[in-house]
Amino acid sequence: MTSSPIRWWRSRSLRLRVTAAATLVLAVGLAVGIAVLSALFVRSRVADVDRSIRVEAATVTALAASDSLPQPLPAPASGLGFAQVLDATGAVVAATASTSNVLPMLPLSRVTTKAGHAFTAHSSAVGPASLRIVVVPATVSGARGYVVAAAPLTDVTTTLNALGHVLVIALPILVLAAAAATWVAIGAALHPVDRLRAEADAVEARDFAGADPPRLEVPSSGDELRRLAMTLNRMLARLHGSSAQQRSFIADAAHELRSPVASVRTQLEVALEVPTQPHEWPAVVRSALHDVERLGRVADDLLLLARLDSGAVGPPRERIDVATLVAPSQLGDRAVLVDTGPHACVIGDAKSLHRVIENLIANASRYAQSRVAVCIEANDTHVALHVDDDGPGIPVADRERALERWVRLDADRSRDRGGAGLGLAIARDIARAHAGDVVLTESPLGGLRATLRLPRAG
């Protein structure tokens, strides 16, 4: 239950909390300040008074010592103050004009205990005011006696009272005014935040569909809010970019999925529409089957990409000799394994890595004129598997793009021969999931060299 006021406080608005905190600090600060000032003032005034009554006491003591006490005693230099000379029994021997020469200012008991000290007290012999009193032992007519000197603290009391009024009346007004000013100023300072929030709130998914990214209005002030708005705008631009990428990926995926479906549908519709002889049907079915297979491949590739994107690439991480990934049976009709090199192992998922090599060889075969060659190199840290072809190659500027999804640089080739443009992208994604990469360079055969590079596992 102790946390509930804290929770309540934290659930208040920032504006309220800052105003309350600032007001509290101001009120406490002012109160402490006034208290310290008063204390210093009182100390300094009391020291002044003490000095003057000690001088008076010393003067009277000297007079008593020389046995020449006048009646009345001389008034203190400040004009404010009293002095009495008391004998050992506490009876008044001499006094200043302003005080009684019968009634002692202090009873004997207090005089003896306070001798030598300055202190604050009241005295019925003088009046209701607070007094600073000093008692000094003296020799009076050759016997033991005391000099008592005093001065009123009237001005100190008056000043303290005035300060008290300030504390009670002016301080609350001042604090309330400060609180109001803080409330207004914070409201004004937070207004752009509120506007930014409202603008950011108004950004909807469809705002990312346009050609330009959605933007929040950047405040003209050069402060944190301006930087916040600019940061938010950069974030929106990045979101817009990734949303555009996403949309174009989906559009491409839709295109690649629809094309074979369209082909199958039209083939079957036409076969039903146009009189088809029984012996022609197998050809119709085989042709449709081609497109169904293509559809299946695109669907598989898309699912594999989705799995790669979600980071769920083949959990079994086994130790694989790279040479076993390119057994002659996997090389297809045109590829030749030139050099398996040293026996180098990598850690990974054999099925996924097979897929990489399959895709690289399929791509090379598509462009090769006559030859596809595979070779393996290894150094202490990495294993490289090269797939070379003697085809036209890819210009340096296009190589990076060739590894992107749905990119088919072979616009000159028809759909039937070119793939969907996912093979190399998938190969690179799998390689990267294995802390490796796929890079494209020139092949010694004159065409393209696609290299799968993986970290070596001993």
Partner 1 sequence: MRVLVAEDESRLAAALERGLSHAGFVVDTTGDGAAALELATERAYDVIVLDIMLPTLSGYEVTRRLRAQGIWTPILIASAKDGEYDQADGLDLGADDYVTKPFSFVVFLAHVRALVRRGARPRPSVVEAGRLRLDPATRTLTSAGAPIDLTARELAMLEYLMRNVDRIVTKEELLAHVWPNSDTDVNAVEVYAGYLRRKLGREILQTVRGSGYRLHPS
d(CA 367, CA 449): 12
Q: How far apart are CB 267 and partner 1 at their closest, in Å?
A: 4
Residue 63, amino acid? L
Tokens 């940061």 found at: 231
Contact 64, 83 (CB under 8 A): no
Closest Cα partner for 339 from 385, 308, 293? 385
- Which one, of 270, 275, 303, lies nearest residue 287 by Cα? 270
| Cβ at position 264, least distance to partner 1 in Å | 8
**Strand order across the beta sheet in which 127-140 lies:** 92-95, 82-87, 143-152, 127-140, 118-123
Q: How far is CA 83 from CA 3, 111, 385, in A?
A: 63, 13, 114
Q: Which is nearer to partner 1, 259 or 340 (CB)?
A: 259
Binds partner 1 by CB under 8 A, chosen from 99, 132, 134, 291 = 291
- Regarding 285 and contact with partner 1 (CB under 8 A), the answer is no
Selection from 372, 309, 318 nearest residue 345 by Cα: 318
Rounded least distance, CB 274 to partner 1, Å: 4
Of residues 216 and 264, the one with the C-beta less far from partner 1: 264
Query: CA 434 to CA 314: how far, in whole Å?
Result: 10
CA dist., res. 162 & res. 140, Å (int): 43
CB 410, min distance to partner 1, A: 8
Residue 401 touching partner 1 (CB under 8 A) = no
Q: Judged by CB, which is closer to partner 1: 194, or 398?
A: 398
Q: 241-280 mask for partner 1 (x: CB under 8 A)?
A: ----------x--xxx-xx-xxxxxxx-xxx-xx------
Residues 425/403, Cβ–Cβ less than 8 Å: yes
Q: Which is nearer to partner 1, 76 or 421 (by Cβ)? A: 421
Cβ at position 287, least distance to partner 1 in Å: 5
What's at 29, amino acid-wise? G
Question: Pattern of binders to partner 1 over 313-352, x per CB under 8 A?
Answer: ----------------------------------------
205 sits near partner 1 (criterion: CB under 8 A): no
Q: Least distance to partner 1 from the beta carbon of 257, Å? A: 8
Which positions lie near partner 1, rule CB under 8 A? 251, 254-256, 258-259, 261-267, 269-271, 273-274, 287-288, 290-291, 411-416
